[in-house]
A and B are shown apart, each in its own frame.
Chain A
């Protein structure tokens, strides 16, 4: 059973470009969470999704950021018009049943904005 798969591992973008980060949860998991880890900081919650629904997006910046988890395919975190401050490691996690279960994390996508 493959773990949580994130790609790409490293993504380089110039200011103003779009970044698309992908996350395939573990098989059988229908709950996906996105976290951002800035240099020398902890993990900050961004968004919690179930299939086709956004459950909690209280940690998402109001502009330029969006997330989806379609019925088929991976979850996508999309950042439009990236700025240098978006440079960070973005981690995806999934869980099997719901909020009371432990999280299984992917290896992350390191986004670098030039």
Chain B
């Protein structure tokens, strides 16, 4: 079945540091890929998505590129802020499938 593997956390960075959170996936078809963010006490929010190979999703300074050859969708940001502290989830959804499959989440803490 489908699966998503994320880099284990927690990740602690200083403000303005470079961020990478690794995500690899296993899927039978050609899924869409997503990054969601969860702030304390809240539900998940979509951060960015990519629907086909070589697409780059971007939002709020975050980027991720759909790499079919390495089955990866790594999340990057050039300069993190304290307000980026949250839990980040990588997810996939197969074409015409109802459910999304999520990774275990990576907790990011950014210190001033």
Binding site for B on A (CB under 8 A): 4, 6, 31, 33, 35, 41-45, 48, 55-56, 58-59, 91, 93, 99-100, 102-103, 105-108
Contacts and interface: CB of A to CB of B under 8 A. Distances in A.
B112 interface: no
B43 interface: yes
Interface string B92-112: 010111111111110000000
A93 B99 CA distance: 11
Interface of B: 4, 6, 32, 34, 36, 41-46, 49, 89, 93, 95-105
A108 B100 CA distance: 17
Given A55-B98, A99-B96, A107-B41, A43 B89 contact: yes
Contacts of A4: 43
A103 B100 contact: yes
Given A42-B103, A42-B105, A107 B42 contact: yes
A45 B100 contact: yes
29 contacts: A4-B43, A31-B98, A35-B102, A42-B4, A42-B89, A42-B102, A42-B103, A42-B104, A42-B105, A43-B44, A43-B102, A45-B101, A55-B98, A56-B98, A58-B99, A99-B96, A99-B97, A100-B32, A100-B93, A100-B96, A102-B34, A103-B44, A103-B46, A103-B100, A105-B43, A106-B43, A107-B42, A107-B43, A108-B43
Q: Which of A35, A42, A55, A56 has the most CB of B within 10 A?
A: A42
B43 A102 contact: no
A35 B105 CA distance: 14
Given A33-B99, A43-B89, A45-B99, A102 B49 contact: yes
Contacts of A100: 32, 93, 95-96
A59 B41 contact: no
A103 B32 CA distance: 12
Contacts of A93: 43-44
Given A42-B103, A42-B104, A99-B93, A33 B42 contact: no
B30 to A, nearest CB: 12
B64 to A, nearest CB: 14
